[in-house]
Amino acid sequence: MAIFMQAELAGVTTEQYDKLNAKLQSLPGNPFEGCLAHVAVPTASGLQIFDLWESEQALQRFNEVVMPVASEVGIPQGGTPKTGQVHNYWVPRA
């Protein structure tokens, strides 16, 4: 069952986000496995993250990888992201 996740990252800059993303992409394997879509939106107070995951297990595996790396690059642990089961989704072909 697909899972939607929304996270508010107050105080996080796009530069911090880019550094985190670069570190994650440099890891062996594919830490993003199971991610169907990802959007990062700058806001007046930080960033909003929106993800669509194949399953709750895929999201949990990613969280186990991202949290230590986020801490390493100075991104503070925020509140609990909002998650929910997805009724339906589709992705247009490029």
d(C-alpha 55, C-alpha 36), whole Å: 10
Please name the residue that has the structure tokens 């990252």: 9
pLDDT tens digits, one per residue of 29-77? 999 999 999 999 999 999 999 999 999 999 999 999 999 999 999 998 8
Residues whose CB is less than 8 angstroms from the CB of residue 53 and which lie 6 or more positions away in sequence, other chains included: 2, 3, 4, 5, 34, 35, 36, 59, 62
Please name the residue that has the structure tokens 């930080």: 46
Helices within the chain (DSSP H only): 14-26, 56-72
pLDDT tens digits, one per residue of 6-27? 999 999 999 999 999 999 999 9
